[in-house]
Amino acid sequence: MTAPDFDAETVSLDWNDAGTVATLTVDRPDKLNALDETTLRAIPDALDAARDDARALVVTGAGEKAFVAGADIAHMSQLGVAEAYDYCQLGHAVMDAVEAFPVPVVAAVNGYAFGGGCELALAADIRVASENALVGQTEIDLGIVPGWGGTQRLARLVPDETARRMVFLGERLDAEACLDAGLVGEVVPHEECVEHAQGLAGRIAAKPRFALQGAKEALNQVHESPQSAGLEYEKRVWSGLFGTHDQQEGMEAFLEDRDPEFE
């Protein structure tokens, strides 16, 4: 199944047979899937096309070498301060849209993920790495810093020392180092990476949709609010799910010792 209302040259959107898992693929393998402006603008359109039907989303890159190797350095090299700020705003809007997508997002990091590619993976909820993955916030070697959320999301995910080494030195972590640092949740054979991520997304998609949305929103509050506000938000989400079909079905199925049939 392919979303009928989405068509872009450098981003594709495909669906599993059940129509519950969408896979967004950055499709510029000849450029190692680098995020030029056209691609950046296409990603939110793909997210909008998937929003109503997807119960989970996979984000990955085309080809055998790269997830997303970074941003468009040739374009960036010509920017002044004002233009750089606008480009930064665009990148932030894309990463924010991935992070705020209403259901869980799984990044299949199937190769190089540098700069903006690392930031795209960081905006996902869960990360699966190919054994060939190589991940880094390498902007320091361009005379700049991570500008699409990397300084914030990376430092919240990995130990402070690891984040500072990656940003200050441009250190690149291989798949096992990413796993050790907590940057990814698992490492799988390269040829299985995308399919494995889709299978994981399928397991997520089988869970109750409104509960998934509420859980994601509540978890995201950890990074945006004091704990007291996050706890209050959790209370509202938790209690607001009562009376929904999935809450009633889930609890009845538990009490009746059977598998639930969620909407």
Neighbours of 92 (CB within 10 A): 15
Assess whether 137 and 221 both reside in one domain. Answer: no
Last residue of a domain, one of 205, 229, 247: 205
Q: Is residue 59 within 8 Å of 101, Cβ to Cβ?
A: no
Q: Read off the pTM.
A: 0.89
> Do the domain assignments include residue 175?
yes
Give the end of a domain, one of 187, 205, 223: 205
C-alpha to C-alpha distance for 186 and 206, rounded to whole angstroms: 21
Q: Establish whether 139 is a catalytic residue.
A: yes
What is the domain-level CATH number for residue 75? 3.90.226.10
Q: Does one domain contain both 180 and 215?
A: no
Structural domain total, the chain: 2
Residues 166, 235, single domain; the answer is no
**pLDDT by residue (tens digit) across 7-49?**
899 999 999 999 999 999 999 999 999 999 999 999 999 999 9
Task: Please indicate, yes or no, whether residues 153 and 85 belong to a single structural domain of this protein.
Answer: yes
| pLDDT recorded at residue 224 | 76
* pLDDT tens digits along 88-111: 899 999 999 999 999 999 999 999
Identify whether 119 is a catalytic site residue.
yes
Question: Would you state the torsion angle of the CA atoms of residues 90, 69, 75, 93, taken in this order, to the nearest 10 degrees?
Answer: 0
In a domain, residue 261? The reply is: no
Strands 105-109, 126-130: pairing is parallel
Share of the chain above pLDDT 70, in %: 97
Q: Are residues 112 and 226 in the same domain?
A: no
Position 263 in a domain: no
139, 195, 256, 261: the active-site residue: 139
Q: Which residues pair with 58 in a beta bridge?
A: 23, 106
Strand 186-188 to 134-136 pairing: unpaired
- Are 184 and 138 contained in the same domain? yes
Does residue 245 share a domain with residue 168? no
Regarding whether 238 and 184 lie in a shared domain, the answer is no
Name the CA dihedral angle for 237, 124, 89, 138, rounded to a multiple of 10 degrees.
150
CA-based angle 88:94:97, to the nearest 5?
135
**Is 213 in the same domain as 106?**
no
37 and 147 part of one domain: yes
Which tokens go with 222? Answer: 């950890």
- Residue 219 domain boundaries: 209-255
CB neighbour burial string for 225-256, b if at least 16 within 10 angstroms, e if fewer: eeeeebeebbeebeeebeebebbeebeeeeee
Of these residues, 64, 119, 131, 192, which one is catalytic?
A: 119
Q: Verify that 89 and 201 share a domain, yes or no.
A: yes
Query: What CATH number should be reported for the domain holding residue 226?
Result: 1.10.12.10
Q: What is the pLDDT of residues 47-87, one digit of tens each?
A: 999 999 999 999 999 999 999 999 988 888 888 888 888 89
Q: Is 99 within the bounds of a domain?
A: yes
Is the same domain home to 193 and 213? no
CA–CA dist 26, 42 (Å, integer): 9
User: What's the average model confidence in pLDDT over 169-188?
Assistant: 97
